[in-house]
Structure 1
């Protein structure tokens, strides 16, 4: 597996862009400036650099959105941050008000191998303590069962495309189910209703509790536990 080092500063920018525009929506310079605590002029200079690197699309005076490559990096660092929050809060019992800052300090140095081990120990979590979605890993598996079956980390390869869970999608989004996350019980529950990797999916909307989708011409009203853990290729 490759481990090309990206600066912490770049990761922070991409993480904020993902937090405010996970569906590649344009995020304003003002939003970035406020979230990062950095002057707008400095943010603008960094956005120009990120565009040259191919991580974002930048429109002067309007803002920026993630490219596929930028989204890949942003999802990876966001995933590490939120898994660390889960670990710090639920296992180490760190005070909730201290969890975010501690995770920020640790996320940049957490290896992919350690991230995978944490995910397994926490039984493949879907939400961090703030109830934000933990992005899918970028390992090339169809499910967590497949991941668990591979013992040697050096034999794992990275997925070449990005994923979003049903609960992260904008209404009227169509795609192919490419990964299903969860422990054996959840995976069995999803399989029992006839949902599988490779199925074509159209997401309509949510009423706040259930997610309305069409999968292979069948209509489903999915609870959040399932919608958080069924991912389509984007």
Structure 2
């Protein structure tokens, strides 16, 4: 069960788990200890706490995987961090060596409303300055154009499922397209391939078939999509 206010410490743990295991991979205690610069014994105690809270499944001596509840929090904080990095880099022109630490300080206090405004101002970015994919928002829209058309933030409904874009997948996955991010031009290009929200999708390939795109099966039709499309087509997980 999610807390009404998640501590920054918990958010940091979940963020690292997401960064290393977004597609259900088990993340070792050693990996967490190294990235967080925290003693393994302290990491183990926190993992036990996170499991009690329902955010992870913890296997002693092996590591942890995110639950749906943990994934929701981890994606939200990761998204805010990477959007802030994009804003600090592109708009404020902050020195590159300072961007990560400043985003870390700001991500925990950035409201959902401000996050949405930043996303709209930056024109729905798919990559942060380090070229890591920015997770989807958890607002219940089919695409960014629907988000633009709703001016009152208080009317926004939150999505009930977690999403991953095609380029984040690390194992063969099947599901339905639930959200498509990007400009009207990108949406048109994706639609021209017969891909829309609700399409059945099967991703058999863990990595791009070459440098130019990914092979996917949409409603039983095999297609090749570009890297940009793969960063912006999201499926429910």
- With normalisation by structure 1, the TM-score equals 0.97
Deviations 1:120-169 (A, max 9, x none): 00000000000000000000111001111110000001101000000011
**Alpha-carbon separation, structure 2, partners of 1:172 and 1:77:** 26
- Structure 1 residue 96, shift from structure 2 partner: 1.1
The question of 1:227 aligning with 2:226 is answered: no
* Residue of structure 1 in register with 2:193 after alignment: 193
**Alpha-carbon separation, structure 1, partners of 2:198 and 2:145:** 16
**Alpha-carbon separation, structure 1, partners of 2:166 and 2:54:** 27
* Residue of structure 2 in register with 1:212 after alignment: 215
Deviations 1:26-67 (A, max 9, x none): 000000000001000000000000000000000001110000
**Alpha-carbon separation, structure 1, partners of 2:4 and 2:151:** 23
Given the superposition, is the C-alpha separation of residues 3 and 188 from structure 1 closer, same or farther in structure 2, using an over 3 Å criterion?
A: farther
* Residue of structure 2 in register with 1:154 after alignment: 154
Matches within 5 A, 1:1-234: 4-205=4-205, 206-209=208-211, 210-234=213-237
Structure 1 gap segments, 5+ residues each: none
Given the superposition, is the C-alpha separation of residues 90 and 77 from structure 1 closer, same or farther in structure 2, using an over 3 Å criterion?
A: same
- With normalisation by structure 2, the TM-score equals 0.96
- Structure 1 residue 118, shift from structure 2 partner: 0.3
**Alpha-carbon separation, structure 2, partners of 1:84 and 1:232:** 24
- Structure 1 residue 3, shift from structure 2 partner: 9.4
Structure 2 residue matching 1:104: 3-state secondary structure: helix
Which shifted more, 166-175 or 196-205? Answer: 166-175
Q: Which runs of 4+ in 1 moved over 4 A?
A: none
Given the superposition, is the C-alpha separation of residues 208 and 73 from structure 1 closer, same or farther in structure 2, using an over 3 Å criterion?
A: farther
Given the superposition, is the C-alpha separation of residues 3 and 110 from structure 1 closer, same or farther in structure 2, using an over 3 Å criterion?
A: farther
- Structure 1 residue 178, shift from structure 2 partner: 0.3
- Structure 1 residue 207, shift from structure 2 partner: 2.2
Deviations 1:206-228 (A, max 9, x none): 22421110001111111100000
**Alpha-carbon separation, structure 1, partners of 2:70 and 2:87:** 26
- Structure 1 residue 170, shift from structure 2 partner: 2.4
Root-mean-square deviation over aligned CA pairs: 1.2
Structure 2 residue matching 1:213: 3-state secondary structure: strand
